[in-house]
Amino acid sequence: MLGDTVLRERMVRELVEARGVTDARVLAAMREVPRHLFVRDLLMTQAYGNHALPIGGAQTISQPYVVAKMTEMLDVGPEHKVLEIGTGSGYQTAILARLARWVYSLERLPDLAHQAIRRMRQLGVLNVKIQAFDGTVGWSEVAPFDRILVTAGAPRVPKPLLEQLAARGKLVIPEGDRHRQRLVVYERIAGRVRRLEGEEVAFVPLVGRHGWDPPEGERE
């Protein structure tokens, strides 16, 4: 495989910058995080392509442009405490960790959560805490959060997440049906919540108490 530094630079230039992501801090983070370490060994040669990839448990690592776009929409500052819903492989988590003061991440599938924790340790990422839990109820013990990012498609924004959003906070979430959604930004301003819709995307369903029902095989 061509050197991963070269591949990361090409990925950012061709798949991210060329499609309109301009935030310099986001682009720098995308250049720094080795995406191939967050995919299965069998798929390493595809790690820097313009596509989502399976990571197990019927979950995926999102395509690079979508990761960058959602991160840019979230507008993360170095002083911010961020909640991520849907750790997955941990790639988006590692991007956020380079931008925020602290990242809390929830993943409903324990195997994925444990793998992501190992990757954070491997990369020396120290400002992240990951737990296996239903992300749709949030993380009330450490709320409120300056920023909240949901990386799975929801029928609507979970109420607990809005309740855990700090004043002047932002929340980015894909909203729609199980197959197609739109990126939506919620922003808490002067005690009110403003909602703005963005572009169309396709994410795996957000499963949980305030999301979609689990697949048939996981139901009791």
Alpha-carbon span 152 to 161, nearest angstrom:
14
Residues ≥6 apart with Cβ < 8 Å to 75: 147, 170
Q: Are strands 145-150 and 192-201 parallel, antiparallel or unpaired?
A: unpaired
Positions annotated as catalytic residues are 62
What spatial distance separates the first Cα and last Cα of the chain, rounded to whole Å? 44
Asked whether 153 and 52 are in contact (CB, 8 A), the reply is no
Alpha-carbon span 92 to 70, nearest angstrom:
10
Q: Are strands 128-132 and 145-150 parallel, antiparallel or unpaired?
A: unpaired
Alpha-carbon span 162 to 172, nearest angstrom:
11
Classify 211 in phi/psi space as left (phi over 0), alpha (psi -120 to 50) or beta.
beta
Q: Are strands 145-150 and 81-85 parallel, antiparallel or unpaired?
A: parallel
Alpha-carbon distance values, 8 to 36, 41, 54, 140, 166 (Å): 9, 17, 19, 36, 34
